[in-house]
Amino acid sequence: MPNIYGYIRVSTKEQNEDRQLIALRAMDIPEKNIYMGKQSGKDFNRPQYKKLIKKLRPEDLLYIKSIDRLGRNYEEIQSQWKLLTKERRVDIVVLDMPLLDTRRGKDLVGTFLSDVVLQVLSFVAENERVNIRQRQAEGIAAAKARGVRFGRPPRPLPENYRSAYQRWKAGAITGTAAAKECGMPLSTFRYRAEIYEKAKLP
């Protein structure tokens, strides 16, 4: 008897997989046959995906929530679809797109329609990824233009920084000596000095 499997991918360890998990459980997939990866779709060097591939046998059935779970770009999605359906000879059902159900229409017309839908959806998945990255970049640029700072706030300067800085600027001590007095690397001392000067502190 063919086995039924499910595959879940979330892009980062912070993302929640509940939406995909609920959809797959509704298909009565045995819990032990649901494989979940929490890595980026940038490549397929993923332990859970590899374990799943090794388990699959001809005529097994694989459920995924959406086509972009197989990858985040057009070529990768196409490649994995071919691997699963042609080399492993398993059936795939994409729950978000009922037309992508390889159990149906195995004749020439059905295969052609599935291939067309797959190509369109693969393109859409990659295009959406590109758009998201562009929107993120534009959002960050706009925030920086408004003066929003990203990353951790700098540590407060040590109490003796002003004194060490002034003596360094006056040539009384070297930058290395000043940095040592402040308990910081020379590169950090000079970096904080630039910020100190720009802030026009007395």
Given 11, 79, 163, 187, which residue is catalytic? 11
- Report d(CA 129, CA 135) in Å as an integer: 10
Q: How far is CA 13 from CA 62, 93, 153, 166, in A?
A: 23, 25, 24, 47
- Report d(CA 19, CA 96) in Å as an integer: 12
119: region left, alpha or beta (phi > 0 left; psi from -120 to 50 alpha): alpha
Q: Residues near 66 by Cβ (< 8 Å), separated by ≥ 6?
A: 94, 95, 96, 97, 125
- Cα 138 to the chain's mean position, in Å? 18
Is 187 labeled as catalytic in the residue annotation?
A: no
Residues marked as catalytic: 11
